[in-house]
Amino acid sequence: MIPIIYHPGYNITVFGLERLHPFDGLKYRRIHDALIGDGLRRPGDFIRPETVRADDLARVHTPEYLQSLKSSKVLADILNVSLLARLPAAFIDWRVLRPMRLATGGTILACRLALEHGLAINLAGGYHHAADAWGDGFCVYADTPIAAASLHAEGRVERVLVVDLDAHQGNGTAAAIRPWPWASIVDVYEDDLFPAFKQPEDFPVPIPAGLEGPEYLRIVEEAVPRVLDQVDPDLVIYNAGSDPYFADPLTRLRLKREDLARRDLLVATMARERSIPLAMVLSGGYARDSWRVHADGIEAILGRFDQIEPTRSAEGPAPAR
């Protein structure tokens, strides 16, 4: 079966203060429960990650930035909840940052397992507004660059491609990987959304507000295979934000649930047709039923690819194709 990484500690609760933010801190549990309820996994089938190690955080984040996370004001600014500035930083670390460190460990594990199984899914992660020296947009740790840097340092991959289909530009990921000639990003994002300043990217695909499913999917079908063939990566990390959904309060794209499920299956299929391992992370999504949107996409992938056989060794990069 496709490895699915989940930990109950992913879920973020702050004694009710989480309701001040549009992000659903319990969506990871809801997705986990949906996969069980729909008969696709049993409780014991999920793989639990370990918390990201300090040395892995240091592969990307500056010492100054990591030290700044001990400030309640800094954390309140990153998490976009001003009331948090009045709380002890240790409390925020316990209730919010610890789940994010677990999720970052989950992204690293998903990448490792993708190299072994062809596909792997982390039911969290995708903090694509965090860079080496700053965080923003509820993103503290740059989990995708951290995972890529860890595997590259170990010699397991030579080229990594991030496919970012969250509705917002992955500005943090783009900034973090820019110095690395071996890492690239293709990013399809709504052009008029946060962040106001867009980071330079390898393959930016800005799109206008109001696009519906067929036109959006046509853009994805044109852009992603072209970049896959040009970069020829050893690993794809897919940032599968659910916020292009028509009911999302922070975006203005018009995709239905079935459009997003088709999108996720398309990306997985395009990678697997090329024998490229793919690790999926979830990223943003702010509608009340964004958990169901994610679950639909994951279930579409499981329906096509469960029982997949390994195609690449975890001991090193694949041979040239």
Cα dihedral: 281, 180, 314, 127 (round 10): -20
* Cα 287 to the center of its chain, rounded Å: 17
Task: Assess whether 129 carries a catalytic annotation.
Answer: yes
Name the nearest CA neighbour of 245 among 233, 258, 236, 255: 255
CA atoms within 13 A on the CB side of 131: 14
Q: Given the residues 32, 61, 129, 152, select the one marked as catalytic.
A: 129
Enter the tokens of residue 158.
Answer: 């030579």
In whole angstroms, how large is the CA radius of gyration of the chain?
18
Residue with tokens 């639990």: 48
Rounded to whole angstroms, the Cα distance separating 35 from 32 reads 5
Name the nearest CA neighbour of 231 among 202, 206, 264: 202
Enter the tokens of residue 288.
Answer: 């009340």
* Cα 251 to the center of its chain, rounded Å: 18
* Cβ(154)–Cβ(111) below 8 Å: no
Q: Catalogue the active-site residues.
A: 129
